[in-house]
């Protein structure tokens, strides 16, 4: 299975910038199917985590208000080219994904 996460990490002047894009439907549970009129069940990312060289540096709690295919960017003090960054998510239906990337 192809990863649902695309990420880039770059270091400059002792600060690492991580950018990630997640492919996910992010359904609120409030929308109705146009054909059937029934509500589409909620399906959204609940937690996003990031590790830098194995150490947790970010945990974000998300909910149904986050848009489809969410994008997130954040900065980490420290880091250099060659370090590893791992981003992962878990959704309300038990789905999850993670991806390791190398800082450039």
pLDDT digits (tens, 9 = 90+) for 59-103: 999 999 999 999 999 999 988 999 999 999 999 999 999 999 999
Residue with tokens 């800082």: 103
Question: What sign does the CA torsion over 4, 10, 14, 17 have?
Answer: negative
Q: How is domain 5-27+43-102 classified at the architecture level of CATH?
A: Sandwich (2.60)
Q: What is the pLDDT of residues 8-44, one digit of tens each?
A: 999 999 999 999 999 999 999 999 999 999 999 999 9
Tell me the HSE value of 56 on the side-chain side, using a 13 A CA sphere. 6
Whether residue 2 has pLDDT greater than 60: no
Beta-strand relationship, 5-12 and 15-22: antiparallel
| Total-model pTM | 0.90
Domain spans, the chain: 5-27+43-102
What is the side-by-side strand order in the sheet with 71-77? Answer: 5-12, 15-22, 71-77
């Amino acid at each position: 299975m192809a990863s649902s996460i695309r990420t880039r990490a770059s270091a400059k002047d002792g600060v690492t910038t991580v950018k990630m894009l997640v492919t996910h439907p992010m359904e609120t549970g409030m929308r109705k199917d146009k054909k059937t009129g029934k509500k589409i069940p909620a399906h959204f990312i609940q937690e996003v985590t990031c590790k830098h060289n194995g150490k947790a540096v970010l945990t974000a709690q998300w909910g149904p208000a986050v848009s489809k295919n969410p994008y997130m960017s954040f900065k980490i003090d420290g880091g250099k080219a060659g370090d590893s960054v791992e981003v992962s998510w878990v959704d309300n239906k038990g789905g999850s994904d993670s991806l390791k990337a190398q800082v450039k």
